Chain A
Amino acid sequence: MKKQIRKYSPLIPVYAAYLFLFLIGRNLPGMWQLVAMLLFYCALGQAFNIFLGMTGYVDFGYVAFMGVGTYGMALAITRLANVEGLATAIIVIGFVLALFMSTMLSIAVGAVALRLRGAYFAIATIGVNEGFRFLIEGAKIWNGSEGIIFTAQLNQILGREAASALSIFWADVMVLVLAALAAFVTLFYMRSKIGYALTALREDEDAAKVMGINVTKYKIIAFITSACFAGLLGASSWALKTPYVFPPEVFEIHYTIEAIIIVLLGGAGTLLGPVAGGLIYGISKYYLSVFLPGIQLLIFAPIIIVIIVLFPEGVVGMLKSRLKDSTLARFLI
């Protein structure tokens, strides 16, 4: 038992951070939406890191998984809204559908893209992202470009009060749960065979293959896990919090870029990295837009360049190497 605790102790700073955020959000007026935004970024970073951090592959089409997750929830709500007696179960069905759809898509993408490496992989995933979006618009699937607006149906299913509480609070709690879960899964993978295999892969893929490690199997596992989290994140933070879905918005590559920034700022492949990155990114963006509206990107962009040049391994990565021999090292993985 003690060994288990030691094994999972790096989760302590992560969960402490989330708990801290939760308490601030609940107790300081008006902070919950900001906390929700920060949690979104942290969850995004943690989910993205599961694949990126461990394998070093950049999935530029990541947002597609969030997109299908959003559609999954939206479809569940709109198609089942009139079925009697299901009520809250519809939300659960929505999550299941989101999970299912993102798994399916990730298997499809993985089959094509995971044979490729480096930049080719990155671009192939963009191809899937954009291709899928144009398929939805072109073949008019799920209402095509007109998207789906479903606040009314959500009100119908849950009643106005509950639906409102869902959109402004419980959806974000779900995001918190996802962030915590993603952190747990990241650590679990890191400490298991998968972690060793993927670290070997990241260092030198060919050598790993020669050593007999089934590189493909582990890549796929990490890829699908990461995609599933994305789908659930889309279902909660996009579908439930924002009851509408328009294809160009949910396939916007901008979110993948944000995920990359968050993971990089914090430190790819570390556990605490995405949390740190999410917080730094979210807080900076927020305060810059409050105090310097209109020019915050002008300030933010060079800051990012400076940080990347000075700390290419990210903040946590840098801390990790500096504090290697101290007692804190246990928590900074």
Chain B
Amino acid sequence: MVLEQLAGNLVQGVVLGSVYGMATMGLSLIFGVLRVVNVGHGAFMMVGAFIALWFFNFLGINPVIAILAAFVIGMGLGFLFYYTAMSRLIKAPELATLLATFAMGVLLQEIVKLIFGSEFRGYNWAVGKISLGITVLPNTKLLACVGSGVIAILLYLWVNKTRAGSAMRSVVEDSEGARVCGVNVGGVYALSFALGIGLTVASGVLLTMFIPVGINPYMGGGYTLKAFVIAVLGGLASPYGAFFGGLVFGIIENGSYTLFALMEGVEPFALTRFLSFVILLAILLIRPTGLLGGK
């Protein structure tokens, strides 16, 4: 019985982890290229969640298409924020960019609250579920998992097979050298930031395919924290690292529950959180650049 639950939790953990991982790719991308930690990360995911909600409830369009729309909107937001604020802060102390991204997150929260109100909403895309014996998986979760994987692969192809991608890689390697070689470094920064935000907003849609309820303007905070942990797990500067970091994280969070539940006098759920942070610290001690390296 316990083994069965453990297996079931692990499966759920992998599915959840892929979504978490995909959500963190944007964060890692932005950090890898611009050395900026996007503290408003969760707020952008929240925007994606609301896009999914709006598309489904008001426009009757299913979330898969909403992913594309969210990505485009996200990129737009990214370019907007970059050219109005971030571009001026490239030379500023690290702290300034932290604060600026945080303020962006707050601004988004408040704007969304103004438009949609602070109610907790959800939607229901009923496409059935699969029973795996040890656990039950709604098809939306499965789609979310597949979608995350697809996006990760697409990102990999873009970074490694396109010109824009190689320009980006050159800037990461050595921005001065890239500039000398004629690469439009400012443009690469803008594009990378926009891409990162686009990925983050799109991940908000995927998140709602996993958790289609409880959508509200203030939902982002918890996800920002998780994203930080996952990003570090996988290597802050490596988007693929983030994806695998997410998988690991999902497995630990869900898998360890069954084990903690066997202990007396404790609250297993809180302890799974505790464990994930302990592992984070352990990894930082042993391999500070994360599981998959990066810089």
Contacts and interface: CB of A to CB of B under 8 A. Distances in A.
A135 interface: yes
A300 B278 CA distance: 36
Given A304-B103, A308-B96, A126 B228 contact: yes
Contacts of B277: 127-128, 130-131, 134
A54 to B, nearest CB: 13
B88 A309 contact: yes
Nearest to A119: B37
A59 to B, nearest CB: 12
B266 A309 contact: no
A124 B284 contact: yes
B99 A122 contact: no
Interface string B88-114: 110011111011101110110111001
Interface stretch (B137-145, B152-160, B267-275): B267-275
A139 B104 contact: no
The 10 closest A-B pairs by CB, nearest first: A138-B270, A131-B277, A138-B271, A312-B92, A298-B110, A301-B107, A134-B273, A134-B274, A137-B270, A301-B106
B285 interface: yes
A128 B107 contact: no
A140 B288 contact: no
Given A134-B271, A134-B273, A264-B99, A140 B265 contact: yes
B99 A112 contact: no
B150 interface: no
Interface of A: 52, 56, 58, 112-113, 115-116, 118-120, 122-124, 126-128, 130-131, 134-135, 137-140, 144-145, 253, 257, 260-261, 263-264, 268, 295, 297-298, 300-302, 304-305, 308-309, 312-313
Contact of A137 (B89, B267, B285): B267
Most chain B CB neighbours (cut-off 10 Å) among A56, A131, A298: A131
A302 B80 CA distance: 14
B51 to A, nearest CB: 20
Interface residues of B, number: 47
A302 B228 contact: no
A135 B280 CA distance: 15
Given A116-B288, A302-B107, A308-B89, A135 B94 contact: no
Given A264-B96, A308-B103, A309-B100, A295 B114 contact: yes
A172 to B, nearest CB: 27
A126 B233 CA distance: 13
B93 A127 contact: no
Majority-rule SS of A interface residues: helix
A152 B225 CA distance: 36
B236 A120 contact: yes
Given A304-B99, A304-B100, A313-B93, 4 more contacts: A130-B277, A137-B270, A297-B110, A298-B107
Interface of B: 31, 37, 39, 85, 88-89, 92-96, 98-100, 102-104, 106-107, 109-111, 114, 221, 225, 228-229, 231-232, 236, 260, 265-271, 273-274, 277-278, 280-281, 284-285, 288
Nearest to B40: A301
A51 B39 CA distance: 20
Nearest to B39: A257
B68 to A, nearest CB: 29
A67 to B, nearest CB: 15
A73 B271 CA distance: 25
21 contacts: A56-B93, A112-B281, A119-B31, A120-B232, A120-B236, A120-B288, A124-B280, A127-B277, A127-B284, A131-B277, A131-B278, A135-B274, A137-B267, A138-B269, A140-B265, A253-B225, A260-B98, A268-B95, A301-B106, A304-B99, A309-B85
B229 A127 contact: yes
A139 B107 contact: no
Contact of B284 (A120, A261, A309): A120
A39 to B, nearest CB: 22
Pick the most buried of B92, B94, B95, B269: most chain A CB atoms within 10 A of its CB: B95
Nearest to B102: A257
A302 B110 CA distance: 11
B289 to A, nearest CB: 8
A118 B94 contact: yes
A259 B236 CA distance: 24
A292 to B, nearest CB: 12
Contacts of A301: 103-104, 106-107, 110
